[in-house]
Structure 1
Amino acid sequence: MRKRYYIAYGSNLNIPQMRMRCPGARIIGTSVIEDYQLLFKGSKTGSYLTIEPKEGATVPVAVWEVTEQDELSLDRYEGYPNFYYKTEMTLDIKGIRTGKIRRRQAFVYIMHEERELGIPSWFYVNTCLDGYRAFGFEEQYLFDAIEVSRRDSHED
Structure 2
Amino acid sequence: MILYFAYGSNMHPRVMAARCPGARAIGPARLDGWRFLINKRGAASIWPDADQAVYGVLWWCNPGHIQALDVYEGVRWRNYFRRRLIIAQEEGEAGAFVYTGSRHMPGVARPNYLLSAVIPGARQFGLPSGYIAYLESWLPRRPLGAQGPGRQYIGRRRPVRFPR
Unmatched tracts of structure 2, length 5 or more: 142-164
Whichever residue aligns with residue 63 of structure 1, its letter is L
- Which of 93, 99, 102 aligns to 1:109? It is 99
Conservation of the 8 A alpha-carbon contact between 2:81 and 2:100 = yes
User: How big is the alpha-carbon RMSD for the aligned residues of Structure 1 and Structure 2?
Assistant: 1.9
- Which of 62, 82, 88 aligns to 1:92? It is 88
Aligned to 2:68: 73
Conservation of the 8 A alpha-carbon contact between 2:25 and 2:58 = yes
* Count of residues in Structure 1 that have an aligned counterpart in Structure 2: 136
Post-superposition, which runs of at least 4 consecutive aligned residues in structure 1 deviate over 6 A? none
Conservation of the 8 A alpha-carbon contact between 2:88 and 2:94 = yes
Aligned to 1:5: 3
- Which of 44, 55, 58 aligns to 2:53? It is 58
Q: TM-score, normalised by structure 1?
A: 0.79
Unmatched tracts of structure 1, length 5 or more: 95-100, 151-156
> Cα deviation per residue 1:34-91 (whole Å; 9 max; x = unaligned)?
121111103xxx3111111123211111110101111111111111142000111122
How many percent of aligned residue pairs carry the same amino acid?
29
Q: TM-score, normalised by structure 2?
A: 0.75
- Which of 139, 143, 148 aligns to 2:136? It is 143
- How many Å separate the matches in 2 of 1:103 and 1:70? 22
- How many Å separate the matches in 2 of 1:37 and 1:15? 23
Q: Give the structure with the higher percent strand.
A: 1
- How many Å separate the matches in 2 of 1:129 and 1:103? 24
